[in-house]
Amino acid sequence: MRIPVPARLLSTALAVAAFGAHAQPAPPSPGIYTCTDARGRTLTADRPIADCLDREQRELGPSGTTRRKLEPSYSAREQAEREERARQAELQRLRALEERRRERALLARFPNVAAHERERGEALAQIDVVTQAARKRLDELRGERQRIDEELEFYVKDPSKAPDSLRRKQDDNLKSVAVQNRFIGEQEDEKRRVNQRFDEEQMRLRPLWAGGPAAPAAAR
């Protein structure tokens, strides 16, 4: 048996159904995918493009605006290579930053060639002081050797009769002379290294003194 529905209840149900149909969002329109392949061709399709999996693709809306960007798909080897390139690029960037920091510090320490040459002179003067002390000691050892030789003249006919203490003095003197000569040679090598270092610094500083490309970085 059919049960009659009150008119008010029927009209309410019809209104709810109409509102629900009106409120339901419309399905999004399908996007268009586009990319430029390895041969420079611009491709479009209604789905992600297989020929552009190794490069960026764009999904466009009906108005032609970009909805989203699809990142390239990489194999494990390609991803590892990509990460290594990124790591090397970051290392290079950090090295460049460190080099600019050193240039700024160098320029702050030596604002002109006079300041640089002044410090070179001071560094060389310190080495000269040490070298002069070694040469003075060498002169003293030569005087000692002369006295030892004079004593040994008494035993020139039979050197075996020379006292052991005198022979030890002679050996010690020879060893000390060798040590001082070696030390003086090392100081001369150090002077060459100091001059080489200051020459290399001047090569880096000249463009900075002249306001070259690195000067703006030094000013920051």
The structural domains of the chain, with segments of one domain joined by +, span 32-73, 96-219
With residues binned 3-state (H G I as helix, E B as strand, rest as coil), the percentages for the chain, rounded to 5, are: 70, 10, 25
56: amino acid identity, one letter:
E
Tens-binned pLDDT, residue by residue, of the chain (220 aa):
454 545 555 455 555 455 454 555 555 567 899 999 888 999 999 989 888 988 899 999 888 899 999 888 877 788 888 889 999 999 999 999 999 999 999 999 999 999 999 999 999 999 999 999 999 999 999 999 999 999 999 888 888 889 999 999 999 999 999 999 999 999 999 999 999 999 999 999 999 999 854 433 333 3
pLDDT score for 27: 56
Backbone angles phi, psi at 34, to 5 degrees: -140, 150
Q: How far is CA 134 from CA 17, 170, 182, 192, in A?
A: 109, 19, 10, 18
pLDDT score for 82: 83
pLDDT score for 214: 46
Scan for tokens 């070259």, then name that residue: 212
pLDDT score for 135: 96
pLDDT score for 73: 81
This prediction's pTM? 0.55
